[in-house]
Each structure stands twice: as C-alpha cells, then as structure tokens.
Structure 1
Amino acid sequence: MSTSKHIQTILNGTIHALKSILPMNIDVKTPSITVEPYKQEEMGVLIGLIGDLRGRVIIDSSPKTFGAIGSAMFGMPLEGEMLESFTGELGNMIAGNLCTYAGATNLELDITPPTVMVGNTKLYGFQQAFCIPATIEGAGSMTILLTIDEDDK
C-alpha cells in the first residue's frame, strides 16, 4: 500500500476515533498540511505510531477543553494530576481506536505510551504533518496533528 493511501487511512481513522470516543458532537474541519515548528500553547498529548508507517499523533487543546471532555465522559470534574492523567488516557483511546481502524484496512500500526505536554511547546523534526482542527460541542476546540516520519527503507 502506498504512503498516500496510508496517510488517508490514518486521517480517516483519526476522525472515526474522535467521533467514536467523544460523547459529544464534534465538528471536524478539513485537514491541512502544516510545517514545522508546530506550536502547542497549553496542553497536549503525543503518541508515537510504529509499524507499516512511523509518525506521531499529537492532540492539542486547553485544560478547559480536556476537562470538559473528561467531565462528559466520567460525570465529574477533573483537574491537576487527574486531568493530566486523563489527557494521556484520552490520547491512548484515540490512537488505539485509530490502530484498530487501520488494521481493518491491512495497515499494521501500534502505539507508544503517551507523553503529556503542559505549557508552551514547539515541535520540530517531522517530514510532513497534517493538521485536523475540530470543535467539540460544549467543550471547545482541539487540534490533532499527524506527523509522518520519512521512510528509511
């Protein structure tokens, strides 16, 4: 399968994962290509993708948005270390669901443990990246960044 088909599968799988996992309406905007550095402003989670394609999924939002999602999912407010832990687990859920979706199309992917990032961060070191903006009803906005590593085969 070509890299462009892999990328399309990952984009579709990410949107599918968001809509499957989040218990609220989500409006996913058209993906766009972005260049480095990517600037994360408040809070995010990074999950590595390994397998037939290598890259990263970065879910970037605000503590307020992650907190609203957590509250909708668990029925209680999350803050501090609980919010940071939830953010990592949300990343796991989205990336894991993405891998399951990709597997159904014969694209073998696995994920690395999540890295939660709090505060301003600049991300460098990717060949290309796709930015997927989304608005989550009652929670706020979120950006999913999909970086694809250069194939060294």
Structure 2
Amino acid sequence: MILTRSVTDILNSSIEAIKGVIPLYIDVLQPSLLTEPFSQHKIGVLIGITGDVRGRMIIDGEEECFQSLGASMFGIPLEGEMLESFAGELGNMIAGNLATLLAQAGHTLDITPPTVIVGQSKMYGFEKALELPIVIEKVGHFLVILMIE
C-alpha cells in the first residue's frame, strides 16, 4: 500500500513538475507499464532519486523536439553541446521541482545530478517502470520514464 501511494505520488507530482517548468500547453497521455529494456531515442536525461523513494527518471525525446523546446523557452536555437546542456538542465529543473512537490506530500528524497545520454541505447536493470508519454504543443513528443525501486 505504501509503495502504491508512493508511485501515485511520483506520477502525479511528475506531471505537475513538468507543467510547472515548461511554459507551454502539455498533453499528458495515458501512462503504461514498461518492462526492460528501454530503448532510448536521440537525447535523454537520466536523474536518480534517492531517499524514501528510490528510482530514476528519464526524459527522452528526439533532437528536433529538444531544439524546438529550447527555442520556445529561450528564444534562440540550440545545437551541439548547448542543446545537450539544455537537456540536462531541463531534467534538473523538472526533477528538482518533483523533489519539492514530493517533499510537500511527505516524502524525504533527493535527486542526483543529471546524466545526458546522446544516441541510440538500451537500458536494463529495472523490473518495472512507468512510461508517461507527453506531447508539448508546437514542440513534439517526449517520453518520461519513471523507474521505481
């Protein structure tokens, strides 16, 4: 029961954190259960969650989607290292907001620094995860993966 409450809190707080960081209309699609492996697309950012709730969050999307989001948020096109840095900072802002929201819900936790993953890769090492697809207006599709231990 505690794990179910924690997962529900993480899912709901993740949606709220994303909407709090990204100043565009976001359509949150139906979450689904994901079993390993997870195949990452072009750019992803991984952030660890430690404390009462342990796990990882991955924000995954195509390069063009991160570029459009960066241009929408900052008004300038981002490429190369600047785009990768933006992806890491975006993940950091969302996870930091998530940690704050979960603390308000009574969970004690912290986040790790973001790890940016570029290129095609597969991720193993988790039993189950939630896959949360989101569509950001005029930007594109992203996947938020929540791996809860």
TM-score (norm 1): 0.95
Say how many residue pairs are matched. Answer: 149
**Distance in 2, Cα, partners of 1:65 & 1:81:** 16
**Distance in 2, Cα, partners of 1:104 & 1:90:** 21
**Residue deviations 1:83-127, cap 9 Å, x none?**
000000000000000011100011112100111001111010012
What SS does the corresponding residue of 2:13 show, helix, strand or coil? Answer: helix
1:18 maps to which residue?
18
Aligned ranges 1:104-119 → 2 under 5 Å = 104-119=104-119
1:28 maps to which residue?
28
1:70 maps to which residue?
70
**Distance in 2, Cα, partners of 1:33 & 1:109:** 23
Structure 1 residue 67 displacement after superposition: 1.1
Structure 1 residue 74 displacement after superposition: 0.9
**Residue deviations 1:29-83, cap 9 Å, x none?**
0111110000002110000000001100000001111111111111111110000
Q: Over aligned residue pairs, what C-alpha RMSD do you find?
A: 0.9
Amino acid of the residue matched to residue 28 of structure 1?
A: V
**Distance in 1, Cα, partners of 2:145 & 2:119:** 17
**Distance in 2, Cα, partners of 1:145 & 1:11:** 10
Structure 1 residue 148 displacement after superposition: 1.1
1:130 maps to which residue?
130
- For structure 1, the 5+ residue unaligned runs are none
1:101 maps to which residue?
101
Amino acid of the residue matched to residue 81 of structure 1?
A: E
Amino acid of the residue matched to residue 77 of structure 1?
A: P
1:142 maps to which residue?
142
What SS does the corresponding residue of 1:122 show, helix, strand or coil? Answer: strand
Amino acid of the residue matched to residue 112 of structure 2?
A: T
1:44 maps to which residue?
44
2:55 maps to which residue?
55
Amino acid of the residue matched to residue 30 of structure 2?
A: T
**Distance in 2, Cα, partners of 1:70 & 1:33:** 29
Amino acid of the residue matched to residue 20 of structure 2?
A: S
What SS does the corresponding residue of 1:77 show, helix, strand or coil? Answer: coil
Amino acid of the residue matched to residue 89 of structure 2?
A: E
